[in-house]
Amino acid sequence: MDPPFHLFVKVNVDGSYKMNAMVMGFGGVICNQVRCWLGGFYCHRNEGDPLLAKLLAIEHGLNYTWDRVYKSVECKSDCVAVVEMISCSDENTIVMQQHALTKKHFI
């Protein structure tokens, strides 16, 4: 894992969905620029889909860091499709509405 930019913290997030059990989980870890672990989180839900698991991982990761007064945050996800959706304003609004999330969580 590469360290974050100077004076930033990095939150690495991931989410997954198990179709046969209809359960999803997501979590992440926070580290500083010298790669010291600052915290982590994990959540699960009984319903959802793979895309929602990835989106919630990012939402919870950003909220987790902001709640701990880290405001300069680099967020890393392995899901290119979700990162591209968040970056694209037209799709962003559609996807967030579909999954009952608001755009403000990803700005």
> Per-residue pLDDT for 101 more than 60?
no
What was the pLDDT predicted at 5?
67
Instruction: For the full predicted model, state whether its pTM sits above 0.85.
Output: no
The terminus-to-terminus CA distance of the chain in angstroms comes to: 23
What was the pLDDT predicted at 105?
43
- 73 within 8 A of 11, measured Cβ to Cβ: yes
Residues whose CB is less than 8 angstroms from the CB of residue 35 and which lie 6 or more positions away in sequence, other chains included: 1, 3
pLDDT tens, residue by residue, 65-97: 999 988 888 888 888 888 777 776 554 444 444
What was the pLDDT predicted at 97?
44
- 71 within 8 A of 40, measured Cβ to Cβ: no
pLDDT tens, residue by residue, 14-61: 999 999 998 999 999 999 988 899 999 999 999 889 989 999 999 999
Name which of 74, 84, 67 is nearest 6 in CA terms: 74
